Amino acid sequence: AQTVTQSQPEMSVQEAETVTLSCTYDTSENNYYLFWYKQPPSRQMILVIRQEAYKQQNATENRFSVNFQKAAKSFSLKISDSQLGDTAMYFCAFMKQGGGADGLTFGKGTHLIIQP
């Protein structure tokens, strides 16, 4: 079974600052996918970024980037130039390659607050 750990229950930064959310995971799988999801107060789960474990290059989506360290089983999310709309719960998630059974395994989340 896989586990995903997010050690920061809550973080708060000023608007325009850069913030990094940490995530570690444990698995015996070699091929898998990692995700960061954002959940604003509306409760909608929004995919922020996805990383394939076989790719060495870190994924980037506009202001969002990851630092994927496969050997260390670490998958942190960096948000640059943070905006008020980034305030939300952020969940790190794992899925085995081939998906299907088990679905996504989520961490407990980090509540990110962007202060004006």
Residues forming contacts to another protein in the complex (CB under 8 A) are 4, 33, 37, 42-47, 50, 52, 91, 93, 95-109
Judge whether 55 and 49 are in contact, CB under 8 Å: no
Residue closer to another protein (CB basis): 46 or 84: 46
Q: Shortest distance, CB of residue 31 to another protein, whole angstroms?
A: 9
Residue closer to another protein (CB basis): 15 or 54: 54
Q: How far apart are CA 31 and CA 53, in angstroms?
A: 6
Residue closer to another protein (CB basis): 83 or 103: 103
